[in-house]
Structure 1
């Protein structure tokens, strides 16, 4: 593994920037290439075959540009495609899974909520993990249909987004959850709104910090951490409209300018 090569990160859209932000904080010396597949978002309503093929196309794009490791910064793509990607490509892959285990272990009420896409709930890992804790806690699941589209449109503070989010969260609140797992990397951009809806005392679990820790661990195991003092170079690509991605990049990077290149 070439230590100065970049890390590749991809998502169905802008949601994976929540993971990119954690990665850039935890690994400040690493250059990264981020690809938002916004022209094909959302993945949550697509078939496993479709998501796997898109993941292959994006992985090849990132590897052709020298990436040393790929972070699949999308719960849906992780569940649908990461096993295939690991089998077909030689570089390490880091995925994102709903954090059911830490939520179950931390719960005092015995009720946890998971907000994710419908496709994520069909994934083998989620089904297996949920089953492991079925006797200890009640896992309340809710597909956030429509939320990804609103986030992709930049409607992070709109009444429409608030009303839809409250509609999805209300049944879980009434069930007495004390842990809410965000099972889609788009959803952390709604945390301020989610906090206003949830009762005091409900913990929101964002998967991004765990992904950053695992990425560092894998790079250390492969002796792939960049040791150089040079400033990292971050590149951004999208298959859709660059505008929304550029806006979110400025928000998560402290208003640093970023050029987004439209591609594939």
Structure 2
């Protein structure tokens, strides 16, 4: 791998469009950095996939981003993190920043002593979550709530539909009955549902989204490696998807808040003029 330039882009990927919530936080913290975002929506949700499949997808996308010349990678997906992050970090030559459910800050926030964690089944069943619960759940009750169907609703940009509300009520009701006063959004798709969650849980329940903390960790890693851009410049955000481009453009534009142009894997490959990228089965 050739030496990286300070003005090289940062790569961000997720199982689908949920990582846009993290991308938004990164954009706020690092407005002068070029960003490449890969939505693996053609294979979403990861939460229902087996570990080998998830690890293979994470490796494929990481290789694509490395070949596109990124100087750092953000795994903006809790499920990919708990399954694949150790393997990725073992060989990836650039800093890799990843997600984890914000159980520690939730434990520090709760007053009732009851915390609810919304996430995919795969994330909640992981050793990573078990470790966090053991470390920070000694004096509180941590309720783990799997949320099948929510990722699919966000992937369709169904943020305010009655079907989405019904799913959220089903998942939030037992947490509220148990006295939870803090809700952890343990999937990057879920911050897009935060307004609806707020409407259901009311004003007195804390909702914790780790996106800003992840963005700040990225800043720390870039500064530590002397790879941050200084000075004013016009930065770009480029979007790529593994699903139909027209559909992806509509969904990503709706969630990003303005019209964007979404490209496919072959266009990401064109950044480095590598035919290998086009044949990866992305």
Distance in 2 between the 1:19 and 1:247 partners?
Answer: 19
1:10 aligned residue (13, 22, 29): 13
Distance in 1 between the 2:175 and 2:244 partners?
Answer: 35
Deviation of the 1:83 alpha carbon: 0.5
Distance in 2 between the 1:103 and 1:249 partners?
Answer: 29
Specify the alignment match of 2:131 in structure 1.
Answer: 128
Specify the alignment match of 1:35 in structure 2.
Answer: 38
1:1-264 alignment runs, 5 A limit: 1-251=4-254, 253-255=256-258, 257-263=259-265, 264=282
- Encode CA deviations 1:102-138: one digit per residue, 9 max, x unaligned: 1001111000000000111122221101011232110
Distance in 2 between the 1:145 and 1:233 partners?
Answer: 34
Deviation of the 1:242 alpha carbon: 3.0
Distance in 1 between the 2:137 and 2:97 partners?
Answer: 26
Deviation of the 1:64 alpha carbon: 0.6
Structure 2: which 5+ runs fail to align?
A: 266-281
Deviation of the 1:252 alpha carbon: 5.2
Structure 1: which 5+ runs fail to align?
A: none
Distance in 2 between the 1:218 and 1:165 partners?
Answer: 35
Give the match's secondary structure for 1:28: coil
Distance in 2 between the 1:183 and 1:244 partners?
Answer: 26
Query: Residues 100 and 11 of structure 1: is their aligned pair in 2 closer, same or farther, counting only changes over 3 Å?
Result: same
> Which TM-score applies when normalising by structure 2?
0.90
Deviation of the 1:247 alpha carbon: 3.7
Deviation of the 1:3 alpha carbon: 1.0
- Encode CA deviations 1:154-198: one digit per residue, 9 max, x unaligned: 211110010011000000000111110000000000011000100
Distance in 2 between the 1:124 and 1:244 partners?
Answer: 35
Distance in 1 between the 2:257 and 2:188 partners?
Answer: 19
Deviation of the 1:254 alpha carbon: 4.5
Deviation of the 1:244 alpha carbon: 4.9
Deviation of the 1:233 alpha carbon: 1.4
Distance in 1 between the 2:255 and 2:226 partners?
Answer: 28
Distance in 2 between the 1:253 and 1:132 partners?
Answer: 35
